[in-house]
Amino acid sequence: MKVAIVMGSYSDYEMGKKTEGVLQEFGVEVETRILSAHRTPEEVRFLVSEEEEKGIEVYIAIAGMAAHLAGSLAAMTNRPVIGIPMKSDTLAGWDALLSTVQMPSGVPVATVAVNGMVNGALLAVQILGLKYSELNGKMKAYKEEMRKGVLDKDQQIREG
């Protein structure tokens, strides 16, 4: 089970660590890189061929502003690509969201919310869970913990 997290710039790395951490909690091996769709297109192309030889099964692209990284990866692979648009000071992440979500027919990218680091990681876990049954069990346990947390808070407010 291996996921490549690719960030468009170093400024995305702090948020990228959250994605990394969630994947590692589930026992997923992570390869993290910083490459730009615009500034290092040849290296992005090389990454795809290199990583797939290493067994990458899902890509997560984290990028802001023009956010073409997820689309660039999706154009070069048949593996699932999850785009996480990053919030910017300029347009509050709308630019990245629209760039990530509006892919042409035939080049799919699954897009999560702006700064949706946790959901991006969890979607990767669910995709991998189609192949690795142990991840299904871990995801069920994760969701049960979330359920219990909500019910605990509900109980607290009802008790006053």
Question: Is 64 inside a domain boundary?
Answer: yes
For residue 117, what is the domain's CATH number?
A: 3.40.50.1970
> Residue 55 sits in which domain range?
2-132
* Cβ-proximal residues to 124 (8 Å cutoff; 6+ apart), any chain: 3, 23, 28, 58, 60, 80, 82
Confidence of residue 101 (pLDDT cuts 50, 70, 90): very high
Mean pLDDT to the nearest integer, 50-68: 93
CB 102 within 8 A of CB 70: no
Sheet of 81-86: strand order equals 29-34, 2-7, 58-64, 81-86, 110-111
Q: Is residue 139 part of a domain?
A: no
Confidence of residue 90 (pLDDT cuts 50, 70, 90): confident
Residue-by-residue DSSP string for 36-74: -TTT-HHHHHHHHHHHHHTT--EEEEEEETT--HHHHHH
- Is the model's pLDDT at 1 over the cut of 90? no
Confidence of residue 88 (pLDDT cuts 50, 70, 90): confident
pTM above 0.85, yes or no: yes
141: in domain: no
Instruction: State the pLDDT confidence band at 93, using cuts at 50, 70 and 90.
Output: very high
Q: What is the rounded CA–CA span in Å between residue 56 and residue 66?
A: 25
Residue 66: its pLDDT value, please?
Answer: 87
Considering the domain boundaries, does residue 110 fall inside one?
Answer: yes
Judge contact between 61 and 112, C-beta under 8 A. Answer: no
**Quick check: is 113 in a domain?**
yes
> Alpha helices of the chain — where are they, by DSSP H?
13-25, 41-53, 69-76, 94-101, 117-129, 133-159
Q: Which is nearest to 63 in space by CA: 114, 124, 138?
A: 114
Note whether residue 155 is domain-resident. Answer: no
Is the residue at 100 inside a domain? yes
Counted domains in the chain: 1
Query: What's the pLDDT score for residue 15?
Result: 87
Is 74 a domain residue?
yes
Tens of pLDDT, residue by residue over 133-158, are: 999 999 999 999 999 999 999 999 99
